[in-house]
Amino acid sequence: TSPHRSARPGFYITTAIDYPNAAPHVGHAYESISADAVARFKRLDGFDVFFMTGTDEHGQKVQQNAAAEGIPVAEYASRNSDVNEALDRALNVSIDRFIRTTDDDHVRASVELWNRMEANGDIYLDKYAGWYSVRDEAFYTEAETTLQDDGTRISTDTKTPVEWTEESNFTFRLSAYQDKLLALFAEHPEYLEPATRRNEIVSFIKSGLRDLSISRTTFDWGVPVPGHPDHVMYVWVDALTNYLTGAGFPDTESEAFQRYWPADLHIIGKDITRFHCVYWPAFLMSAGIELPKRVFAHGFVNYKGEKMSKSVGNVVDPHELVDLYGLDQVRFFLLREISYGQDGAYSHEAIVGRINADLANELGNLAQRSLTMVAKNCDAVVPTPGEFTAEDKAMLDLAAGLLDRVRAEFDSLAIHLAVEALWSVLGETNRYFSAQQPWVLRKTDPARMATVLYVTMEVLRVVAILVQPIMPDSAAKILDLLGVEADNRQFTDLGTALTAGTPLPPPAPVFPRFVEAE
Ligand code: ME8
């Protein structure tokens, strides 16, 4: 770790933790990749980032799936958790901790949260009777369910089967937090973005909060309730607590907790806002713990017109996409194509379109053409520019203004617009390159050619530094080709232009076109 670590502001970012109940699909990969882009951006921008993701291993759903496969549940969860972690590693997701809710420190954190809520008088024993969806691990009121023609009942919103559940369990006084939660959203609208999701949650709270059943006795795959080993905690109590565990809770005096709590950003999918923006802040208020600063709900990746999900049966294996198109191509596609916060679709045609137009043409071809000319005509070193013309200055100014534009988009989590800003400058650079015709200048005015190539390389340097969070490996390749040292790639290095005379490696293509197999 760097000696300046404590001088840098902390930034704690998390994703949802996946149920290890099946192989993760492109929807899960999308969440990890998008959070990774933010984590990498903040690191390059000088923050001491702690980025956590992991698996949510307890609960009835995981237990039932393990039973269906005839595997002991702990083994099943562990095996699938490893599959999950391996995917994140394969996607180059820069995890600082991969948490598993079966980790010892997490069990301790969950028990402490429970004890605090209980000490605050918010937990009581009651008889629960209502509709439960195992697939959603969620309770629904009758009004939130629909009776189907065949006599079965489903959750109206998520279409998953619900079953009537009657149990004596511990109940959390959620109703006591209705006004405090409304005050939270009034004072801190940024607690949940985008605004459409916030409006849904605020109207849900206004419709009246019922107390929440938070323990179960009909199965045992969970964190035991302190003092009541016949109860396990409702899976969402322990799942949400993972964010505290990562920051060192219950050791609130620890360096980690002081530095990283409250969390700066929880990245989640839009289907789990109720848990993160109603239950979670209420639990924390009850336990006397500061609330996270911000929750951002991304949309769904759809495929063939429907949400990609195991139950729909339209899942795409992210490993297959990476093998077919390349890792950075997949990362770029998901982050550029889908407006962050809205639903988006994955299709073969769309990804091939992005690879060939945005990557191969706009970026790859520009780098390849300019660097090949430099290799052949400028002694394979960064060329020495002459005096800059108005056109050169306009290009360099555009590049110099990029950090502010891109940072503003990342701050508002418009990742797709950050990428778009970079590509708009690449579009300008391509027009500049064509208009300046350095291949003609080669004969007529070699000094001017050198200046045009220098300006082009300098814009490429800025774009490549700023695109590192989106495509870490490819950005590194381009920066290698531009002769930029590995320790000159932070955002503070953006203002230090290429040094004329720096030796360059032989040019090599970075983004091949996608050609359909016969
Ligand atoms: O909800 N597109 O786990 P999970 C985009 N364990 N995102 C998708 C998606 C899709 N097609 N399908 C799923 C859980 N996701 C809980 C979370 S957090 C304390 C506990 C997203 O495995 C989904 O929205 O069902 C969620 O954010 C994440 O994947 C994990 O879903």
Model confidence at 30, in pLDDT bands (50, 70, 90)? very high
For residue 268, how far is its CA from the centre of ligand 1 (angstroms)?
Answer: 7
Q: Which of ligand 1's atoms lies nearest the C-alpha of 243? A: 19
Ligand 1 atom with the smallest distance to the CA of 276 is: 19
- pTM, two decimal places: 0.97
Q: What ligand 1 atom has the least distance to the C-alpha of 24?
A: 22
For the segment 207-233, what is each residue's pLDDT rounded down to a tens digit? 999 999 999 999 999 999 999 999 999
Query: With 60 as the cut, is the pLDDT of residue 50 above it?
Result: yes
Question: Residues 6 or more apart from 478 whose CB is under 8 A from it?
Answer: 363, 367, 460, 464, 510
Counting atoms of ligand 1 from 1, which one is nearest the CA of 299?
5
What does the pLDDT read at residue 308?
A: 81
Cα 396 to ligand 1 centre (Å): 42
Which amino acid residue places its CA nearest to atom 23 of ligand 1? 269
> What are the helix and strand counts (H, E) for the chain?
20, 18
Nearest CA owner, ligand 1 atom 21: 269
Regarding an ipTM greater than 0.90, the answer is yes
DSSP 192-223: EESHHHHHHHHHHHHT-PPPEE-EESS---SP
Q: What's the pLDDT band for 417 if we cut at 50, 70, 90?
A: very high
397 exposure class (CB count in 10 Å sphere: 0-12, 13-18, 19+): exposed
Q: Report the nearest-CA residue for atom 30 of ligand 1.
A: 18
**Residue with CA nearest ligand 1 atom 7:** 27
What is the Å distance from ligand 1's center to 334 Cα?
A: 16
Probe target for ligand 1 pocket from 13, 28, 307, with the most ligand atoms within 8 Å of CB? 28
- Per-residue burial over 223-250, b if 16 or more Cβ lie within 10 Å, else e, is bbbeeeeebbbbbbbbbbbbbbbbbbbb
Which of 234, 243, 268, 284 to probe ligand 1 with, by most ligand atoms within 8 A of CB?
A: 268
Q: Which residues line ligand 1 (CB under 6 A)?
A: 16-19, 27-28, 30-31, 56, 239-240, 242, 268-269, 271-272, 300-301, 307-309
Query: Does the pLDDT of residue 304 top 90, yes or no?
Result: no
Residue pair 197/296 in contact (Cβ under 8 Å)? The answer is: no
Asked whether 398 and 459 are in contact (CB, 8 A), the reply is yes
CA-proximal residue: ligand 1, atom 9 (nearest): 27
On the question of pLDDT at 393 being above 70, the answer is yes
Q: What confidence tens digit (pLDDT) does each residue in 93-109 have?
A: 999 999 999 999 999 99
Instruction: Report the pLDDT value the prediction gives residue 1, as an integer from 0 to 100.
Output: 45
**CA 24 to ligand 1 center in whole angstroms:** 10
Question: Cα–Cα distance between 180 and 184 in angstroms, integer?
Answer: 6
Q: What is the pLDDT of residues 460-481, one digit of tens each?
A: 999 999 999 999 999 999 999 9
Q: Which residue has its alpha carbon closest to ligand 1 atom 27?
A: 269
Nearest CA to ligand 1 atom 14: 18
